[in-house]
Amino acid sequence: MGQFNAIALNCPILNQQSRYFALLDECIDRKLAKEFVGYEVKTFPQMGWAGVKNG
């Protein structure tokens, strides 16, 4: 399986209906979010972090 640029962490505070949260990098097609059943999924742009660089 190829490299997967997503972070999954236990974060129940974000949405009481979902136990897990996945944050998708900008380079990931946002349509992939529907594959995360049971997760609250956000992209960097949805979080207001578009264009943020590491470091």
pLDDT in tens, the chain (55 residues): 444 454 545 444 455 566 788 889 888 899 999 998 888 888 888 888 888 877 6
Whole-number pLDDT of residue 49: 84
Whole-number pLDDT of residue 12: 46
Whole-number pLDDT of residue 20: 81
Considering the entire predicted model, what is its pTM? 0.58
Whole-number pLDDT of residue 2: 45
32 phi, psi to nearest 5 deg: -65, -20
Rounding to the nearest 10 degrees, give the CA dihedral for residues 12, 37, 4, 24.
Answer: -60
Tokens found for residue 32: 């992939």
CA 44 to chain centre: 8
